[in-house]
Structure 1
């Protein structure tokens, strides 16, 4: 269903994003984490599961990282070997520049055999030695273009600074990219400006716009707020103040996130931009994980209420006969 929704530019796509367990996690513990993940997500109305590739981005900034970096399991290995019984498509992130063309080709073949979908991301730092350029990586992927879709990342904060995110999106569309997953959105003004400029560019060039999937993430603590800053996520000062003054920062952030999702839904519908949401769960605290599940459920219901989403389960139950 995810493949069809992206190819047909259908709005209301709902994804759920996770990070793999840490690389030094025992096999038994990885299996336990996977089992809990499957149990938690099986009842959710989502179109696909995003599994991130966690990179050490410390070289990107001189600021001290709030949380220490720890290597994680390969996302493809975690998804294919441990999450197979979760009956939703998997989207796997990979920094294309860290691999040779041959390695990428082999990885894409393995991905395709699993009916997984790739998202290519940039390298951890500007001076990182690039082995395969993004255009070349997309060219390699296009061997599977007829039966697959490929995604890319869009960063509203970058557009605020450089005012060229719409150009980047259109350039990647020419390479075969059909949907874009944003960096976590807390500054709704930045996200709206990307959509406004993209809609204008597509209208001017008579191009059908791609699907934009906004990442929504709850903030459960002051330290998480600091980490968002370190990652380059812009949280407006008034939102920071609101969170810090609240009796329950997690509960308040969930309500803010749901308001953002609702407002972006109306904004994209008005501009005929196909859209969706990626509800991210990268924390290890139980309360934050439960908050992400709650948000995924609420956002799915909100999209159904607005008439832009049909339940995935309902679609699976209704299979027209030939």
Structure 2
């Protein structure tokens, strides 16, 4: 069953792999080579879909110095159509709606084939930013222009830990048309469990069926990657940091920890009857961390299919 059908029916147990398109400064002649290497790297995995991120400069959200300098990337939709045409599964294309003019977003939404494309609409990095199109406007445009295009939203367990209302934000997005949610990278298992639990019982109180929750996992092979995760807003518990800092092989330790976290969260969601999907990414561009993320995806695919 394709992921479009599965999510459309409210079913979980699917696995995705997320990539960020190359930097816009990459020479055009190298783009096909990079895409080909990506598809070869992922081809053996039993994936249900690919995720393409739309990267925005998030300095307005976090004024601290970015551990890795921001560099604009190739538009994810263009990258897919021009260089990933041979990929076999549907693709979830992120859209950071604040980057686009209204007519640009209208044109893009109207042109998407709902059989091959899903989207996650992401609002501005900071509520203080004046964007040409708000998230609510973008959701309304999707409903008006291409209602069959499956639309997802962002879920942030860390925000739930601070404000205790992320489950209500998810339900508001669900009522606005979101058919699935994708989290940022999960390291704090308890935060993710609390969000799932509160969402599940609030849905029950309102007579709503929970939609698939897609939790994202990644490895961390260095303190620099850990610093970047924290800059992105990921809560990394101190005990995990200690394990990584003092391990003789932090990448292997991180891989084992991410696998254990994902397996426990998968089993927890199944027990609460919340449909779950798994998304794996590599936060780092280091080859060993990318390879470990691919290994993680293979292990989690095997658990989901068991």
Q: State TM-score, norm by structure 1.
A: 0.91
1:178 positional shift = 0.7
**Contact 2:120 2:154 (8 Å CA) reproduced:** yes
Runs of 4+ in 1 over 3 A off after TM superposition: 143-147
Indicate whether 1:124 and 2:121 are aligned.
Answer: no
Partner SS state of residue 154, structure 2: strand
Higher mean C-alpha deviation, range 225-234 or range 133-142:
133-142
Q: Do 1:215 and 1:280's aligned partners in 2 also have CA atoms closer than 8 Å?
A: yes
Partner of 1:247: 248
| Post-superposition offset of 1:304 | 1.2
Matched position secondary structure for 2:108: helix
- In the alignment, structure 2 segments of 5+ residues that lack a partner are none
Displacement of 1:144: 5.7
* 1:198 shift after superposition: 0.4
Aligned to 2:209: 208
Give 1:27's aligned residue: 28
Contact 1:101 1:140 in 2 (8 A): no
Give the secondary-structure state (helix, strand or coil) at the position aligned to 2:69: coil
Q: CA deviation at 1:145?
A: 5.5
In 2, Cα distance between the equivalents of 1:281 and 1:225?
12
Counterpart contact for 1:17–1:282, Cα < 8 Å: no
Paired with 2:263 and 2:114, the residues of 1 have a C-alpha distance of: 36
Alignment of 1:250-261 (within 5 A): 250-261=251-262
| Pairwise CA RMSD | 1.4
The equivalences for 1:183-222 within 5 A come to 183-222=184-223
Q: Do 2:185 and 2:234's aligned partners in 1 also have CA atoms closer than 8 Å? A: yes
* Aligned residue-pair number: 305
How many Å separate the matches in 1 of 2:243 and 2:120?
A: 34
Question: Mind listing any 5+ residue stretches in structure 1 that lack a counterpart?
Answer: 306-322
Q: Structure 1 CA distance, aligned partners of 2:48 and 2:114?
A: 19
Q: Rate the CA distance shift 1:65–1:146 in 2: closer, same or farther, 3 A.
A: closer
Q: Secondary structure at the match of 1:57?
A: coil
1:127 deviation in Å? 2.3
